[in-house]
Amino acid sequence: MDKRLVGKRVLVTQSKDYMGPATVELFREHGAYVLADESDLRESSAASAVVDKVGDIDILVANLAAPANLGTMAHDIDEDVWFTMFDVMVHPLHRLFRAVLPQMYKRREGKIVVYGSATGIKGLEGVAAYSSARAAQIGYIRSVGREAARYNVQINLIAQNFVENEDYFSTEFQETSYFKEIMEKDVPIGRLATAREDALFALFLASNESDFFVGQAIAFSGGWAQ
């Protein structure tokens, strides 16, 4: 196997959730020393505490996710749900960047891959709080990605949807007529991606092969978003 990440220290957040397990497994296969962190990063000091604990990081994989609360109309979203989306997916992202970017800038080398969502670039009814937080991630990555590029640090986001995951696409949900209709009408490829396919894309963005990608939010959604 071509081991692209030999000798690289990789921090993966929410390592047991969403894209965490597939990423940890694949990156280790490719020779990385993976620091799999399971911390709740909502506390303001949590991100810096994690980075202080693990030390130097060559690659950060920001895997920050929460249930989308599909089907909730905007006027029915209470403040707890609204703020939770940003507390889980947006504020920790900035705090992680504040903790890792200085060391990467000092070395003039580093990669950050963010698992985001295509709902941040294409509208979807019934997920206003979730998609707003995901859009905020994209705006942040586009801005900071430009800053970081001047220090030879590449930051990019995978804007994903329709990736196998029991939290978003449970077996029961896949059996519903609603899901099957979406697949037929809106997803040209007609299937879910596997978690490994998604992790392989993250591997590319974490490797030296992606050095010319700067502040991109790249759709990974089987054609649902472009």
| Residues with catalytic function | 130
| Cα distances (angstroms) measured from residue 94 to each of 1, 76, 91, 113, 139 | 35, 28, 5, 13, 12
- Which pair of tokens denotes residue 81? 């749900």
CA neighbours within 13 Å on the CB side: how many for 65? 25
Measured in whole angstroms, the distance separating CA 49 from the mean position of its chain's CA atoms is 20
CA-CA-CA-CA dihedral for 106, 111, 115, 117, to nearest 10: 90
CA neighbours within 13 Å on the CB side: how many for 14? 19
Helix/strand number for the chain, H first, E second: 8, 6
